[in-house]
Amino acid sequence: MFEAIVIGASAGGLKVLTSVLGALPSEFPLPIIIVQHLHPHSDSYLAQILDAKCQLKVKQADEKESIVAGVVYVAPPNYHLLVEEDRSFSLSCEEPVKFARPSVDVLFETAIYAYRDKLIGIILTGANNDGSQGVKKIKQMGGYVIVQAPTTAEAEAMPQAAIAATQVDKVLPINQIGPYLLQLINKKNK
């Protein structure tokens, strides 16, 4: 039974996130936690944009906030987003990882300790290899990994790096990720 989903995206991520989240119903039973690489000084309208385009509640993650099922959380710009073992968030201003803050690897590598083999990690479009170490850790600890098919990504580097790093469970074109998640959750969580 799965208990949480973490998603990493970079270049071209807004379009892909809109597609994935748009396929999920308002009663989707798991929390979804997203790192989208943003310019450090950007105003983060990402949560509002995604909230307007999908049926789930989307919000920016806050320090010490408890993670709740059925909510989509987005990392704030210029902060690493970490999942604590008590399943709450912490934010960090530590150095960028692979030139990124927030870092996909930081989110994935902390979330796996909170959720263990009940975590799904998803890597979407992006122009670097952020997330590749995180998916490797998720697989090592028994979690499940889905990667956007590089041929459908605006930037292929992140999906390719994830596929090269570990034996991923599924590689899917973007329009199939949301529907596949629904099938997977319904099958495993019955």
Taking only the tens place, the pLDDT of each residue in 22-75 is: 999 999 999 999 999 987 777 778 999 999 999 999 999 999 999 999 999 999
The H helix count followed by the E strand count for the chain is 6, 9
Please, which residues have CB within 8 angstroms of residue 187's CB and are 6 or more apart in sequence?
none
Instruction: Supply the DSSP symbol for 35.
Output: E
Angle formed at CA 33 by CA 32 and CA 36, multiple of 5 degrees:
125
Q: All domains of the chain, ordered by start, with CATH?
A: 4-189 (3.40.50.180)
Q: Return the pLDDT at 187.
A: 82
Taking only the tens place, the pLDDT of each residue in 153-178 is: 999 999 999 999 999 999 999 999 99
- Catalytic: which of 19, 37, 103, 132? 37
- Catalytic: which of 19, 80, 103, 130? 130
Told to judge if 80 belongs to the known catalytic residues of this protein, a careful annotator would answer no
- Catalytic: which of 10, 19, 103, 132? 10
Told to judge if 10 belongs to the known catalytic residues of this protein, a careful annotator would answer yes
Told to judge if 37 belongs to the known catalytic residues of this protein, a careful annotator would answer yes
Residues in the chain: 190
* pTM, to two decimals: 0.96
